[in-house]
Chains A and B, each alone.
Chain A
Amino acid sequence: MNPLINLLKMEFNRFFTNNMMYILLVIFMAFQVFGIFMIKQYEQPDQEGILLSTMNESQFIQAMLSQTPSWVMMYIMVFSVYFYMSEYNAGFYKNYISMKNARIYSVISKILILGLFTLLMFIVMLVSDLIGRAIFFENAAIGDLQYFFKLLVGQFLLHWAFAIVILCITMLLKNMIASIIIGLVLVLNVFGVAVSLLESLVWDLNLSSYLLINTIVSVMDFNELQTVIHVVIAALAFMMLFSFVAVRYKLNEDLR
């Protein structure tokens, strides 16, 4: 396991000395606070007649994440593509990839780094939401803590799975612009909407609700065990599938 820890240490070092990571987080925070300010200026009740400014943090997060394009997914997508492609374009992998199991460990360590970035995004989202809501909505209520925790964990897993999907696509395409375009299509949930539409025409099942982006943008009741299981299954299935594809691909890849 030592080589995995060494590669992970290296990726952590690169992650924390990477200006892009800080820039993305700061921009996201600024826009998130600014977004809350704009919401206050032009606030309209939602379909159920509830004003965003009266919502607690759990409701607010769900309302924000259900809007496409989701800015959280957008930033995660940009960072995932950037983090992989910056190393690939520089050719830095050539320095360590010959080591035993380095191909596998390199993918695993990148997956863990993307998890860390997703976590930081969620922390920044929470902090900026609380600051923005406290200042502009004069409402920093979080709501039921247990519900809030389940929502955060569920959405974190889903967003991490999304980052892994993007990593896998970037590895396959090896092109920053193409990966970002595909990422944008995914963030806009074009695929999820199309599949849902086709599904409603062809049969009476609702399998498309298990699609990753569909699950992320759906407003769900995390008090229900079924919802929690749905979210965890969708997240883990996409995580495992795309991690497996990414590792298999890296193992067989001829590096330039």
Chain B
Amino acid sequence: MNGERNETALALHRKLSEIWGTPPGLGKLSAVNHTAVGLRFIVTSGIFFAIGGLLAMLIRAQLATSASPFMEEGLYSQVFTMHGTIMMFLFAIPLIEGFAIYLLPKLLGARDLAFPRLTAFGYWCYLFGGLMLIGALAAGVAPDAGWFMYTPLSSSIHSPGINSDVWLLGVTFVEISAVCAAVEIVVSILKLRAPGMSLARMPILAWYMLVVAGMMLFAFPPLILGSILLEVERAFGLPFFDPERGGDPLLWQHLFWLFGHPEVYIIFLPAAGVLSTLIPVFAGRPLIGYGAVVAAIIAMAFLSFGLWVHHMYMVGISHLAMAFFSAASALVAVPTAIQIFSWLATLTYGRPRFNVPMLYVFGFFFVFVIGGLTGVMLAMIPFDKQAHDTHFVVAHLHYVLIGGFVFPMLAAAYYWMPHMTGRFPVQHLSRAAFWLIFVGFNVTFLVMHLTGLLGMPRRVHTYAAEAGWDTLNLVSSIGGFVMTFGFALVLLDFVLQYRYGRAFPRNPWKAATLEWAMPLPPPVYNFASLPSVDRRADRIAPKEIGAHLAAGRGYLGFARNGQMETLGVSITSGRLEQLIILPNNTFLPLWTALGTASFFLAMLAKLYWAVPIAMLLVLFCALGWTRVTGSQADRGALPVGAGEEAPPHAECSGAPSWWAMVFTLASNATLYASLLFGGLFLWTSAPGWPAEEPPGMSLSLSALTAGMIAAGGVMGAAAVRRAGQGPRALLLASAAAHLAATLLLGWMALNGVPDRTGHALSAVCFAVLFYAGFHTALAAVFALYGAWRDATGLVSQRRNLDLRIGRLWHLYTAVTGVLGVAFVHLLIAMGSAGGAS
């Protein structure tokens, strides 16, 4: 009987491997599987970490003594700018993405993420954007205005070379990857779980990643907008940040830190999720205060968006506004403390096993608590004014980021390495590596608090011997090199584990989460059949359930038509809802990313004539993605195993792609709100207002434009009701209205705002109209695409997903377009009337 079962399991394994497997050779570049792409993210971020680390060593070599002739000032600026940029944008965020991409489907009981091709596209954007930045470093034209890219230092008048352009374009390119990953993660967590896994049963790490991905959706758009505006100012002279023409450098600081502070929590929370996962495993008991921790991370996410101005205390903000931000900065310690007490309580009431991952957990506690305390100190305005822009701040941020991110992620690496490699650690070097990192880190940065308190400013390439900072700096530098040896030893330890670790088939840590209920290293399809979850998903028995699933006795324990299938559930209850059919391996993400790269390279090389061609290329590639989606006939409910049936996702109202559009538009709306905020901010605060020659807009033309935008949106949205009964006429009319609106908006932007470089008022009006025009043009594409899908028989009353996704875009375009036209008139009225400035 057992032999028969094994044979069945083996046959199933072969079939699923054939369907889900990655092709050999160059075909590997077509892989969209989450395990392959997740590991690529992780390894690539590790390489960037090594480069960023080497730059840190150069910084420490330069600062070791006051008489160091190691680097001249300009080169030093490039090195410290790239160190920060690499660590934040090319290491920390992508590592989180890779970690989530690799792990989430396995934790949630799914075979892949919701949009495998988007995952792969995100990876290529990350890689190409990162290579742009590293290439500039190798060519000696790396960004050199600090990783905050503050204006006016980064403006063309003070940074005339391409250094700042490299940052603005390269980082924006990488951020596309982050936003893609955020949409992917949110939708996958909400929709692609094992049946029965309600929200309240999710493993705690999934909660952390859900909150973090949600934060990414809202935190990245302000920086993307800021980068676009600054690049437009540098390339075309529109003065958003130039105080002599109605702009304001503080607008950049607001947009940057609206991203920058949540970013700290975006980095910290996944690491905290790791701790909330590991500590219960090694304490041998479930996490204490699961509900309180969920509440704490949600509170933390919101509070983190209310503290960005604490980076700007010195710029001259009113006492009341500073009090808002100072209070929120102090308050964020409360949800952090809830998590820390939850971990301590879990350890106290459990029977802790002390292992290498736990060493890093204790490293985290020691380092992060110090970083948190100095953070509370800096949140207090009087202290911040003393320590502002000194090495005290540098020490604080490293305690928070290395303590709150690197130590937990090293714990995660040691914990999940057996999962990735199928081998258990040798661990002869692990403890030595930990102590070198721990001691080296504290020697470097504990001392740096004192250097800062003695007044040493950050970002200086040298200092006077009389300042008396030599000894402290030398100690910091020695500590830095000790820490580097520690990281080198960790790398060697991983190589040894991969090469010589003993094979371990399943669950070496006696964990109780689903990712251990599979053979190690994991097969490409994760689970031979999908589980049903009847309890909280950190209390399962991987050994028993693993054997059950491997024998194909769960959901989808078969292969059907060579399709890559997984299951979708309702968001809250986890009830089985849909059969999700995923696309196979394809080179399209790579081609699309190359098209996107050509856009950014054309911008960098100032070949502006090539930019529209690159955009069309991207659109062409993106449309190519739809060739394999859709069906010519309604299929209705299909068997999914365990005696149950579910309809294909294209026939469900809550299909993942519908939700993806919802979250994409939410992110897009944040960018738009930031743009409108920018206009209002300049009106309230920038010098040089009111404008002497404001733009003139015809009211009747504006009304016609707004009417056309609304008509296009309404007709496009109404087409859904006609699905299956001939929606084409409405869609074509919608496309015509959108195209007319695009032309009208173009006319308004070019003729109503003739002098776009003269004053920020004109520049903002132009940007708002451009935004609206870009959206109406894309809305026309959506309408035409819907009509084409209908003409080719891919739309019916049941199969109306394409039209429903389009409806979301149409409605968004209508609302933002009409609002934009009204805003332009309002801003012109306010910005040309008398005022205090």
B and A form one assembly: no
A-binding residues in B (CB < 8 A) = none
B-binding residues in A (CB < 8 A) = none
